[in-house]
Amino acid sequence: MRCPACRLPLLTVEVNAIELDYCAEDLGVWFDEGEIEALLGCHTPILTWDGSGAKGKRRCPRCNTKMRLFYPVLGLELDICPNGDGLWFDAGEVEQLTTALQRGHDKPHLGQIFSQLNRMIGGQR
Ligand SMILES: [Zn+2]
Ligand SMILES: [Zn+2]
């Protein structure tokens, strides 16, 4: 798969037995459908997209369809595949989501998992 932002090949990193794809150039991360929930051990969807949102400039790394803009929490703009392949986070957006989720839900281990993810991505740069 190629990075939706810079088109370089994405690298894989394993975090808690989940394989994520990330870009070493801009430190963005791709989550396949359900991977966020799998990573956090949740059985219910954490992010639900209502199908709204304008077309963005980027294309899905899996199906090459133009992704749509998705605003799961205030101030956070993600790219989502309209065919349900997954979600793209730019650098820093995972932290933004973590902060918002920690505020809204009682998931104290969230921050820990994401900081592990960030360490692994950052450490491989
Ligand atoms: Zn990139
Ligand atoms: Zn797709």
- pLDDT per residue as tens digits for the range 34-43: 998 888 777 7
What pLDDT is recorded for position 75? Answer: 86
- Return the DSSP state at 10: P
Place 123 in a pLDDT band, splitting at 50, 70 and 90.
Answer: low
Which ligand has its closest atom nearest to the C-alpha of 11? 1
CA of 122 from ligand 1 middle (Å) equals 14
d(CA 119, CA 94): 12
Rounded to two decimals, the pTM is 0.84
Residue with tokens 């993600």: 78
CA of 59 from ligand 2 middle (Å) equals 8
d(CA 85, CA 78): 14
Which CA distances in Å does 108 have to 35, 55, 99, 104, 112?
18, 34, 11, 11, 8
What pLDDT is recorded for position 109? Answer: 61
Q: For 50-97, how does the pLDDT look when each residue is reduced to its tens digit (9 = 90+)?
A: 999 999 999 999 999 999 999 988 889 999 999 999 999 998 888 888
- Is the pLDDT at 125 greater than 50? The verdict is no
Place 113 in a pLDDT band, splitting at 50, 70 and 90.
Answer: low
Which ligand has its closest atom nearest to the C-alpha of 33? 2
- Is the pLDDT at 8 greater than 80? The verdict is yes
CA of 85 from ligand 2 middle (Å) equals 4
What pLDDT is recorded for position 46? Answer: 76
Whole-number average pLDDT of the chain: 85
Which ligand has its closest atom nearest to the C-alpha of 67? 2
Average pLDDT over residues 93-115: 69
